[in-house]
Structure 1
Amino acid sequence: MSDYVPQEVLFEILLRVPVKSLLRCRCVCKSWYSLISNPDFISNHTKRTALYSTNTHLVLRRYASDDQEETFTLHYDDDELFGDCQKLDFPFKSSRDYFHIVGSCNGVLCLIDNHTKGLKPIVLWNISIGLSVTLPLQQITYQLFHNEVLGFGFDSQNNDYKVVRIVYSRMSDKSLILPPDVEIFELSNGAWRIISPRSAPNCVLTDSSTASLNGAVHWVGYYNSSEEVGNSNRLVIALFDMTEEVFEELNLPDGIADDILEQLSVTVFGRLLSVIQYKRWVRKLGYHGCCIWVMNEYGVAESWTKLLNIDFWSGLRKVLGLRNNGEVLLVKNDGELVSHDPWSKRSSKLEIHGESSSFFADTYMETLVLLKGKKRLCN
C-alpha cells in the first residue's frame, strides 16, 4: 500500500500516529522502518507531540527503603484515577539506593549513580520506549576536593541532546576555584569533548535542581565561592546555552536574590521558568511552606510573578509539580505524597510513600528519542 502513497504524504500521516503504534508500524515494510527510524522524522514527531501534548499523565519516581526498590510509576492526572498507576520497567540498579535524576527533556531522563567511586556512570533513558544509552566515562578527572554539577538538555539548532558537566576544584576552606572545567557529551556522536566556554562569574550550587527550557539548562547560582549556608552575597539563575555553549544568568524575583541557597529550587511549570522559594526549615519537621514564582516572559526579570503562596505547617520536604486541577503535588517530610489545594488549604492523601528526598515527578511524554541509540556507548 505504501508504494501508492507519496512519501511526503506518508510522512505527514505517520507524524500523527502515537509512539507505541509507530513501533509496530516499523514491521510493515522496510521503507516504513527506515522512515520511522529517520532522525528527521523522530525530530518532527517529537516537536508535534510537545506542541499538542495535553499533559494527562505524570511519571513518578520514589524509593522505598523497606524493600530497597526504586520505583517508576505512570499516573493519570485525575482526582479519582491518580492512584490507579502503571508500574514501569526500570532496567537499572543503583550501587546503593537510587539514582540521582539530572533532568528530563522530551521524554528522556538523564540519570547518574552518585554512589560509585571515581567517575560516575550516566544513563539516558526513554521511559516510553524503554531504550537507554549508557554514556562513556567522562574525560575530566578531578582532585580530592571538588564540586561537580550536571545538566541535560536539547540543542534545537543542531537537533542534538547534550549533557554538560561542570567541575569546580575546591580549596581546603571549601571555596571554589573559577573558572571551572567543563565538558559536553553529544548524543549525535556519542562522545565527550572538553570546552572552554565564556564563564559566568557566578558558581552553580552543587545540589541545585535543574530546569531545561528554551535550549538552555538552568540552575541556582551564587556570587560567593563558598556554599556555606547564609554566606552568599547574591543569588541568580545560572544557565548554560546548549547551542552557543556559553554560560549566562537571569535575575531572580526582587526580594529573594539574597535568600539562602538551600531554600531555592528552579523548575518548569506550564512551560514557564519557575522558582520555588521554600520557607523556614525546622529540623525534623521540614519547611513551613513555599512561594512559587513564574517568569511569564522568558529572560525578562520584570515579568516574574508570584503564582502561589503555600503555608504547610505539617512539614514540607519538596514541591513535585502542579496538577491539571490546580492542586500542587507535595512531599511531606515524613515521605508521604499529598495533593494540596492552595486555596482551601486542604491536602488529600494519595497513599504513596517513600524516602522524602527520592521523589521525582514530571509530565509523561511519549517520544522516539533514542530509538536508534545503542544500549551502551563505550570509551
Structure 2
Amino acid sequence: MSGLQKRRQQQPVPTDGGFLERPLIESDDIIIDILSRLPVKYLIQLRCVCKSWRALISDLHLVRKHLRRAVTGVNRNSYRLLISDSPFQSIDYEALKDVGVCVQSSFLCLQLPVTLERMSVVGSCNGLICLKGNKGEVLLWNPCTRVTKMLPGIACFYFCPKFYGFGYDSTIEDYKVILGGESTTADGMMIAVFTLKSGLWRTKQYLDSFKLHGQGCLVNGALHWVELKWSGEELRPVLSSRIISFILAEENIVPLPYLHIQSYISIRIGTIANRLFAYLFNDVSLSDIAITVWVMKDYGVHESWTKIIQIPLKSLRQISMNFVNIICILENDEVLMSCDSSYLALYNPKENTLTKVLKTPTNLLTEATMYVETLVSPVIGGGANI
C-alpha cells in the first residue's frame, strides 16, 4: 500500500455536511482519474448517488487533479466569462471563438446566495471569484458548486479601498485577498491581506503612496496595476506610466520596467497565456491606430515588451463604439472586447475586421472576468497545489 493511500485511510474526508469516515481503496485511483475528466456539473450530480460517491468526489486528490486538467486546458469547455451582475451571467469561453454559432444559448444565469450592493469583482483564481460590496463586505464564491464564504469585515481605509486583488500564494499553499488604499490612521498607503487558512486580516503600512485603482491583474504569482502620472508643462503635460506589482509570496511592492511609448492617452493591462499584456489607447489626432497591444514575453524584462496587435480607428468606427475594454486575446489572436457596456465584439487582426458577437441581456461588468469551472472550496481552499 502506498503512503498516499495510507494517509487517505487515516484521514476523514471533508464534505459540506461534515466528515465521512469512508476510507479510499485501491480502485479509487482509477475512478478518480476518470471523474477528473468530467465537467463540474456532472460531478455535482454524481455526489447525490450515495455517501461513498459523495466522499470520493470531495476527496482532495480528485479536486486537485480536476483543477489541473481544467487550468491546463485538458478538459475542454472549462473556462467561462462572467459578464454581468444584474443578475450574474456567464458565457462559455469556447462559444466565443466561433461567431457562426448562437452564443446567446451559451448564457448561464448564476444565483449568488448573498445580497451585496454595488458589487465589484476583486479577482478570480482557480475557479473562485472574490467579490466586494460598497459597505466593505468581501465574499469568496465558487459559481459552479454555489458555495460561498463571507470574510470578516475590516475598517482601516479612508472611505473605501482604492485597489484590490485575489490570488494564490504557492509558497504557503493558500489564497490571499488584497485590499489597498489610504489609511485612516497614518499618512501613506495601507494594504490589508486576508489569508484563507488563518481566516484573519493583516495590515501593512507603506510610506510611499502609489496611485493605483481597481482590480489587480494576476500573473506570475503577483498582482499588477497601472500607475499613471502626468508631468511636464501645465498646458502640454506628458503622460508616463508604470506597472506596479504586488508579489503575493513576499507581500512586497515592485515596479516593473517602464513601457516607453509616446502619444497615448490611456493604458490598461491583461493576461494572455500567463503573460502580461498592455493595451494603449493612442492619440488618434496623431495616428490612425486607435489601440496598440504589447506583451511582456519575459516577465520583468524591459526588452521583452513586444508589439503584437494594432487596431485601426476605422475598424472601431465600423460599429460606432465609444467605450472599449479588452477582455482577453484568444488562441487564434482574435481580440475579445466589451463595447459601450452592452456589447461583446471580436477583432480579427488577420482580416482587420471587428464583429459584434452578442448584445448582453444586462449591462456588462466594468471588469468582465474569466473563471475556470472547478471543485475548489471557498471555505477551506484546497486543490490549488497543482
TM-score where L is the length of structure 2: 0.75
After TM superposition, list the pairs within 5 Å mapping 1:55-74 onto structure 2. 56=77, 57-62=79-84, 69-74=86-91
Q: Residues of 2 paired with 1:365 and 1:296: CA distance?
A: 24
In the other structure, the counterpart of 2:150 is 134
Counterpart of 1:186 in structure 2 is: 195
- Label 1:245 to 1:364 Cα distance change in 2 as closer, same or farther (>3 A): closer
Offset of residue 344 of structure 1: 2.7
Question: Percent identity among equivalent residues?
Answer: 27
CA 1:231–1:35: 2 relative to 1, 3 Å: farther
- Structure 1 unaligned regions, length at least 5: 64-68, 171-175, 375-379
Q: Is the 8 A contact 1:122 1:134 kept in 2?
A: yes
Q: Does structure 1 retain, via aligned residues, the 8 Å contact 2:116–2:137?
A: no
Contact 1:266 1:274 in 2 (8 A): yes
* 8 Å contact from structure 1 (residues 107, 364) kept in 2: yes
Larger Rg: 2
> Is 1:159 aligned to residue 173 of structure 2?
yes
Q: Secondary structure at the match of 1:343?
A: coil
* Deviation of the 1:210 alpha carbon: 2.1
8 Å Cα contact 2:57/2:63 also seen in 1: yes
Q: How many residue pairs get matched?
A: 343
- Asked whether the equivalents of residues 289 and 310 of structure 1 are also in contact (C-alpha less than 8 Å), the reply is yes
Secondary structure of 2:372 counterpart: coil
Q: Structure 2: 5+ residue runs without aligned partners?
A: 1-21, 382-386
**Could you tell me whether the CA contact under 8 Å between 1:150 and 1:165 is conserved in 2?**
yes
Q: CA deviation at 1:349?
A: 2.4
For residues 166-185 of structure 1, the aligned pairs below 5 Å read: 166-169=180-183, 177-178=187-188, 180-185=189-194
Say whether 1:307 aligns with 2:304. Answer: no
How far off its partner does 1:52 sit?
A: 3.2
State the distance in 2 between where 1:32 and 1:200 align: 53
TM-score (norm 1): 0.76
1:366 aligns to 2:383 (yes or no): no
1:140 deviation in Å?
1.8
| Alignment partners' CA distance in 2, 1:355 and 1:7 | 44
Contact 1:61 1:70 in 2 (8 A): no
Give SS of 1:23's match: helix
- Give the SS at the match of 1:358: coil
Distance 1:214 1:47, change over 3 A: farther
Matched, 1:336 2:343: yes
Q: Name the residue aligned to 1:123.
A: 139
1:272 aligns with 2:252: no
Q: Secondary structure at the match of 2:110?
A: coil
CA root-mean-square deviation: 3.7
Structure 1 residues 232, 182: CA separation in 2 closer, same or farther (over 3 Å shift)? farther
Partner residue in 2 for 1:173: none
Structure 1 SS opposite 2:375: coil
2:41 match: secondary structure: helix
Residue 102 of structure 1 corresponds to which residue in structure 2?
Answer: 122
Deviation at 1:58, TM superposition (A): 3.3
Structure 1, 28-37 or 212-221: larger mean CA deviation: 28-37
